[in-house]
Structure 1
Amino acid sequence: MILTVIYCCVYATVIVPAFVANGLEVDFPSRPTVGLKSDTRSELDQQLVPEIKQQNGQSRSIAVFPTSSEKAVGPENITQDDLDLRQTFDLTNEQRQAGQPSQWLSKIFSDAMWTFVPHSKSKSKCNLQARLYQQHLSNNTHWAIRMLDASLIVPSGIIAGAGQQFGHPDQCIHTRVPLPDFRTKYCLPSAQFSPYKGLYPDFYNKRTRDWPPYDMEKNIWDFIRPRDQLIRFTRHSFSWGLCIPESCSAEDIQTSLNDTLSRAFAKHQIHIQVNLTELQCYSVSEEKMCLVCTDSSILSGYCSSLSTKK
């Protein structure tokens, strides 16, 4: 009886006015839902689950947990911060169930690339120079920071179709490293990503149109997924500039990137596959035409001019 009275007081005096003020319509549950929350199973730490009617007519539950002040649930102890926290927690779970990643891919990518260092299974020189690069990065050494700064760390504009993000090739290949036989190399790896089928099954269904007006209420994966139209931007893949030691081969870099990025993206139920060939890499010491990106005449022309610089 006491629990029911507490529930009704909280619901009528705090929760309902808060959601009404935010334009949400509230339905009273047919009966209170009360469950023990804490490890001690105290009757004070209880979970009240009001139902919120959304614009589509469906109802969902807003989880209500013990207050931030760790006091008993009651009208005098629940603050607006508590309500905001509980609503945010519930919406986050709802977004995950709807196929929205807990972090957007640019954040996942940048976190992984900040600490990326290539490795090789067969070339000790690559591993040695990669460790030197990592060590000098931690010391904020000028040449190492220049290499990092020349690389694309945080991709942007992918949704708009900005699929080629070069970083700064010139800064990379003209970085002078004051170590024996240590030169830099600029590469343009490409990555293709997609959600796990369990995260967003519709990504793998029949393709839909790709022209305005776009439905801004739909899941972002629906907008990114490949389409049948020929005239469209590719939003599920991108290429980025990367500055690394020249002693590491394209195969070494591709393997290292796949190892690093696959682990990072798997935590968020996203597949990612990186591809890189020697034609997509360039260094000043190479006596060849740079064909970093076969479908980009701008970058190919840029690399051609670099090959004349000695």
Structure 2
Amino acid sequence: MHLNKRVVVTGGCGFLGSHLCDRLVNQGHEVICVDNCFTGTKQNIRHLLDDPLFEFLRHDITFPLYIEADQIYNMACPASPIQYQHDPVQTIKTSVHGAINMLGLAKRINARILQASTSEVYGDPEVHPQPESYWGRVNPIGLRSCYDEGKRCAETLFFDYHRQHSLKIKVARIFNTYGPRMHPNDGRVVSNFIVQALKESPITIYGDGRQSRSFCFVDDLVDGLVRLMISSDEITGPINLGNPTEFSILQIAEKIIALTGSKSKIVFKPLPLDDPRQRKPDISLAQKKLQWEPAVPLEEGLKRTISYFDQLLLSE
């Protein structure tokens, strides 16, 4: 039984944030979705707007927020390379100023706060799979560093607030996640390939397609976030959340072509700068501390995502 809480979700109009809002409202919590709609869209939460448990607040968390709540999920930040490189300064401000503002709020109102961190804190890893104890290998001045270093700095701030002010913190390191409501043009592997396959356009693979990723379906990921939030105070994280089953980019492309019955051909292009060769979470900590592991197989998750994009393209 969940005791009903007042929960703030920053970035609540985004892909992950909107699914998290759904889950919390379904559990009977009062949810305040905070978003400036820089990359998120109101379309993602439209079905919640009439729900008495749900409230939408248009606000940029790089500015302070004064609000009452029991829990804060800090999900706000552009999360795909196309989005975060569009305005790198705003990206780092969202990660750093945003974290300072949300931590300040949590401290004032004595709320528990969760940071949506990222596997990008590991950079291009020399250790595989990546455990939470690995410190990472990140280029501090590269094209992706506005995101990588912004998220690393946010983790620093969370732990400093925890040590200095005894704030109740949770830090989740999120690995590749996919599912309905992904932005069709955000340049991520799954959404890119699905949109290209449905339009029968060539499927573009950067590099030779042998680089690997692990893909977690959004429902599984949200389940991990909620479990982390309600776990005991001494479980601060950082905790990896993601799917440890690894696929090459080429395998994903071939699977999507098969599932959509598309006639798309695969074309290869040069690999972008600082693109990690492999990414795979070690989730033994999440299994042990949260009794969490992903349950949705890739094929089922892809089918649900394809049907979402199919509808989206039809409505356009």
Q: Give yes or no for TM over 0.5.
A: no
Q: TM-score, normalised by structure 2?
A: 0.26
Q: TM-score, normalised by structure 1?
A: 0.26
Larger relative strand fraction: 2
Larger Rg: 1
Larger relative helix fraction: 2
